[in-house]
Amino acid sequence: MSAEAKQKKTRKASFGIAEARAAILDKLTKAAGKGVLSLFSAKAPETKRVAFEQAVSQLDADGILFVDRHKAKPRFYLAEYKPVIPDAESVATKLCEFLALKYPLLLSEPELKRAVPTAERVLVGKALDLLKARRDIVELGWKKTAAYIDAGNLRNAISTPSSGTVPAQPDVDSSSSPSLNSRIIDAYQQLVRETGFPAVPISSLRQESKAPLADLHEWILSRRDRGHAVLSLGDWSLADEQRRAAAIEIEGERYLLVRLRA
């Protein structure tokens, strides 16, 4: 055997976890936000395949690798390019906003599915269950099927006084002082302007409004009961201690975000 052949054989035999890890990182770095469906060839020799599998386990355990498994085939990414994965909570937020926009129309589940991207439609049923449990929507029987309407607008319509009387002010909570009410609303509006998102962290609302946490929770829950606030779970795994400490817990679920409604 020639010296060159021996050298090639040695290089081939020395392929291990370190080499597999480097190859995977190179492939994922080049793929960036697109991710990849496979990290190594199915035709790879047994020794290489084992090395790749062990490298994948290490990268996953180290938090360097992210695997998106919500579709039929998993897709691999570097953690820094982790995509936003839709869940029932995020779909619920979209449906709630869509129903509020379409009020007073009654919309069926098939009609609501068309309001979200195709990949998220499988979550519509769970999202509707969340919204019904939180009383953010009202389910009505219509043409032998269920139809849904925005609960906040419906409550406002039912409670609106007849012409000639002075309407109640839904933004003022009788259980809290006007100054606290104004501070919280002003703080919420400021946070929405800064972030561009209608759902803001409860912890940020507390910090901006300077409201005691217990009073803020009471204020939010009071508005929620009247259909003027929507709570969202947010991502607990990414929340810092400050956000977690300000969460509102209801029936075992801890809500990090709140969205106010007129």
Instruction: Give the pLDDT confidence of 154-183 residue by residue, as tens digits.
Output: 777 765 544 443 333 344 443 444 478 888
Compute the average pLDDT of residues 29-39.
87
Angle between helix 202-209 and 213-225 (nearest 10): 120
Q: Which pLDDT score, from 0 to 100, does residue 156 have? A: 73
Taking alpha carbons only, the member of 174, 255, 261, 182 closest to residue 222 is 174
CATH of 169-262, one of 1.20.1740, 1.10.10, 1.10.760, 3.30.43: 1.10.10
Residue 205 pLDDT > 90? yes
Say which residue, 192 or 177, is predicted with more confidence. Answer: 192
pLDDT band at 3 (very low <50, low <70, confident <90, very high): low
Q: Which pLDDT score, from 0 to 100, does residue 159 have? A: 59
Segments of the chain assigned to CATH 1.10.10.10: 86-167
CATH class for the domain made up of 3-81: mainly alpha
Q: Which pLDDT score, from 0 to 100, does residue 9 have? A: 53
CATH of 86-167, one of 3.10.129.10, 2.40.40.20, 1.10.10.10, 1.10.150.120: 1.10.10.10
Q: How far apart are CA 111 and CA 108, in angstroms?
A: 5
When computed from its CA atoms, the radius of gyration of the chain, rounded to whole angstroms, is 26
**DSSP helix/strand/coil, 68:** strand
pLDDT in tens, 51-64: 888 888 888 888 88
Q: Which pLDDT score, from 0 to 100, does residue 119 have? A: 79
Measured in whole angstroms, how far is the alpha carbon of residue 132 from the centre of its chain?
18
Q: How far apart are CA 237 and CA 60, in angstroms?
A: 16
